[in-house]
Amino acid sequence: MFETTHLTRRNVLGAGLSAAGLLVTPSVVRAQAARLPVSIICAGGNVTLTLQEVMKRQGYLEEFGLDAKYVNVADTSKIIASLMGGDTDLCMLAGFGQMLPAVEKGAKMKVLAGAGTLTPNSVFTARPGINSIKDLEGKTIGTGSLGAVLHQVMVATLQKNSVDPSKVTFVNIGTTADIFRAIVAGVIDAGPCNADVYSVADKYKLHSIGDLWKLLPEYPFQGSFATDATIRNKRETLVRTLAAHAKLFRFISGPTSKDVYVASYVAATKGEPAQGADYWQFIRDNQPYAVNLTIPDERITLLQQLNIQTKVQQKIIQNSDIADMSLAAEALKLL
């Protein structure tokens, strides 16, 4: 929970000038007004935890007049249950492929914005005989649950490289951190791990056989979504939350964020500074975040097609029934 106000020199000076009647800005007014409570649920993992720590240090949620708490869970099915039950308000950082069949079955939910626009994972293995995606045929691959983002990206990657997904064995391991540990332990043959694993690959005798951000650039890795009821009843809260995250995405994508990002990585994950620096460089080189909160319709359609292929969804749903980007547009006006 972010209960501490994070004041920068600019905020202090701005607040002082406002008190003197010399400067009043929308962000100052929001910060000084009563804060709106918001509960944000995400798919946990090193990348998400680091972003949340950066958010805490930069104070963007407070800047937009929010009293926020983050809840992290293992997979999207838990996120959907929490949102539908009213325990949390919106999801900001998670794959949304599993949300689409939930809508097909009657759940009243909408995709609100993009988040991670590229898949920040590489397929790692410790097996000397596996040197390409095609070598995965007949092998055991660690992913998340059926239809979850890590399962989907591997299915799509196999198909794109002419490997029949039915000829591999998928094992529900969990998060990318869990998959990394399973590869090192020899429990599975390969699986998607975060790009920061490159910095420790030699230590654990691992090698990559493909970067998913290059192999699958069209896949929308993460999005933001909420229930129709929350959109209707807490629209202002959701808009402010989207604005705070857009500011976060812009900050970490820029050249001045390295020190804050690396310190946040170490604090949130207990990892090595070199790993945090490598991942920050990955962000700078590949720009994997939706700095304008956008997600093209065709990328949502791609997820639906993958769902149908893996038999977790029966038919294509009209994008107007599963997405509402008007809140993202309103959020951008606050920046």
Do residues 31 and 112 share a domain?
yes
Where a domain ends, among 215, 243, 273? 215
Q: Would you state the torsion angle of the CA atoms of residues 279, 280, 285, 288, taken in this order, to the nearest 10 degrees? A: 80
Is 167 among the domain residues? yes
Do residues 43 and 134 share a domain?
no
- The pLDDT of residue 1 is 45
Do residues 192 and 234 share a domain?
no
Do residues 245 and 319 share a domain?
yes
Is 3 among the domain residues? no
Contacts 24+ apart (CB under 8 A), 231-234: 231/110, 231/112, 231/324, 231/327, 234/36, 234/38, 234/89
Do residues 208 and 145 share a domain?
yes
Instruction: Take residue 40 and report the two structure tokens written for it.
Output: 């944000």
Do residues 59 and 92 share a domain?
yes
- The pLDDT of residue 26 is 56
β-bridge partners, 332: none
Here the CATH number for the domain that contains residue 194 is 3.40.190.10
Is 288 among the domain residues? yes
Is 36 among the domain residues? yes
Do residues 226 and 306 share a domain?
yes
β-bridge partners, 123: 192, 210
Q: Considering Cα of 104, then 105, then 107, then 113, what sign does the dihedral take? A: negative
- The pLDDT of residue 322 is 96
Burial class for 182, CB neighbours closer than 10 Å (0-12, 13-18, 19+): buried
Do residues 146 and 109 share a domain?
no
Is 85 among the domain residues? yes
Is 2 among the domain residues? no
Residue 108 belongs to domain spanning? 9-117+220-332
Residues 6+ apart with CB under 8 A from 201: 124, 207, 208
Tens-binned pLDDT, residue by residue, of the chain (335 aa):
453 223 333 343 343 433 444 444 555 555 557 899 999 999 888 899 999 999 999 999 999 999 999 999 987 889 999 999 999 999 999 999 999 999 999 999 999 999 999 999 999 999 999 999 999 999 999 998 888 889 999 999 999 999 999 999 999 998 898 999 999 999 999 999 999 899 999 999 999 999 999 999 999 999 999 999 999 999 999 999 999 999 999 999 999 999 999 999 999 999 999 999 999 999 999 999 999 999 999 999 999 999 998 899 999 999 999 999 999 999 999 99
Where a domain ends, among 215, 237, 259? 215
Is 1 among the domain residues? no
- Asked if 58 and 251 touch (Cβ cutoff 8 Å), the reply is yes
- Asked if 108 and 227 touch (Cβ cutoff 8 Å), the reply is yes
β-bridge partners, 282: none
Do residues 155 and 16 share a domain?
no
Do residues 231 and 312 share a domain?
yes
Is 52 among the domain residues? yes
Do residues 95 and 35 share a domain?
yes
Task: Kindly list the distances between the CA atom of residue 158 and the CA atoms of 213, 218, 288, in Å, as whole numbers in the listed order.
Answer: 14, 15, 22
Where a domain ends, among 190, 215, 240? 215
Do residues 113 and 232 share a domain?
yes
How many domains does one find in the chain? 2
